[in-house]
Structure 1
């Protein structure tokens, strides 16, 4: 498991990105999908990423250096956040600029609330990531809030919409119950070229 987790910096301007000296994985989702909880569960820590009851709390690209081996990047959420239009545009500039930057990018974790059906913004996001040919995976979070049959039904909706495959797998996750976390961790470490200890 991870031993040394260090917050590096919050990036509000693309010119302030840290040097790409480590491989990187990034987490992205709507502002209320449990992104911070997922990051903390992945790292097996409680308070690395700040969990807020206010949607849109993450306003910058937050870089964490893990065991001096890779960067974990917490990207600003999209959709639903009650913020001014100019702030949303800045977030879009940050996320798109980061994904287009020349870096040792290994995987993007796209997080969705399994209770919601994917909408146009979700579809556009996935299409954008595919267009950039960025490696990514799909996480359907908060499965503990639904029955087994409901989880199956919603997972089927996302599978039909996003068509996951071995290169872009889909994970069913409950941070609260730690379901699916070991599988996601193993996948991301494999993308980084590391073994899961």
Structure 2
């Protein structure tokens, strides 16, 4: 599927962003939603994005170049990371600055833990990407942890809370059980103009 996946750099300051040479997809989510696991599942690799049980492990914008065709960008998590407030503010400036930059964004993958209820930080993220008019999809991850009825209730809660239109791409995934990954991958390939 993917032949050449290369880590390019970790960006701690906006002036260090790599040139926008390729289309980009970016993975965003609060701490501990399974973002790194989802990236690894999407790429069909085990250890491209480092998985950590420690919230807030990703501290920079991590750029990966895939088959010399697109950038995959892993963003720092937001929310309950056990870091000082000034570090959280720096991450917020870094993320917002990156998303406001003039780059070839094909899709922002907004990841949420389906077990949780959406809170103010989650709603703020949706409002921000809507304000920026960036293309995005919503992913409810860790569906293996709930029953079908609970999944249905939580899905409805997220859709109502975020006021998502019928056109908003919406995916249910489990990295552990490999559920929904193929559907998400197919959608992102279409965003990138690639064939599976």
Give the TM-score band, short-chain normalised: over 0.9
Which runs of structure 2 are paired with 1:87-98 in the superposition (5 Å)?
87-98=87-98
* Bigger mean CA deviation after superposition, 138-147 or 158-167: 158-167
> Take 1:22 and 1:125, find their aligned partners in 2: how far apart are those partners?
24
Alpha carbons 1:164, 1:170 under 8 Å: kept: no
* Bigger mean CA deviation after superposition, 49-58 or 153-162: 153-162
Kindly indicate whether residue 181 of structure 2 is the aligned counterpart of residue 181 of structure 1: yes
> Take 1:178 and 1:104, find their aligned partners in 2: how far apart are those partners?
29
Q: Deviations over 1:140-181 (max 9, x none)?
A: 000000011101110010111224346421100000011000
> Take 1:24 and 1:115, find their aligned partners in 2: how far apart are those partners?
29
Q: Deviations over 1:103-139 (max 9, x none)?
A: 0111000000000110111001100010000100000
> Take 2:2 and 2:138, find their aligned partners in 1: how far apart are those partners?
23
Q: Which runs of 5+ in 1 are unaligned?
A: none
**Structure 1 match to 2:159:** 159
> Take 2:164 and 2:178, find their aligned partners in 1: how far apart are those partners?
22
Kindly indicate whether residue 24 of structure 2 is the aligned counterpart of residue 24 of structure 1: yes
Which runs of structure 2 are paired with 1:103-114 in the superposition (5 Å)?
103-114=103-114
RMSD over aligned CA atoms reads: 0.9
> Take 1:40 and 1:164, find their aligned partners in 2: how far apart are those partners?
27
**Structure 1 match to 2:68:** 68
Kindly indicate whether residue 7 of structure 2 is the aligned counterpart of residue 3 of structure 1: no
> Take 1:188 and 1:165, find their aligned partners in 2: how far apart are those partners?
19
Distance 1:79 1:91, change over 3 A: same
> Take 1:152 and 1:53, find their aligned partners in 2: how far apart are those partners?
27
TM-score normalised by length of structure 2: 0.98
Kindly indicate whether residue 44 of structure 2 is the aligned counterpart of residue 59 of structure 1: no
Q: Which runs of 5+ in 2 are unaligned?
A: none
Give structure 1 regions of 4+ aligned residues with deviation exceeding 6 angstroms.
none
TM-score normalised by length of structure 1: 0.98
> Take 2:138 and 2:165, find their aligned partners in 1: how far apart are those partners?
10
In the TM superposition, residue 35 of structure 1 has moved relative to its aligned partner by: 0.3
Q: Aligned pair count?
A: 196
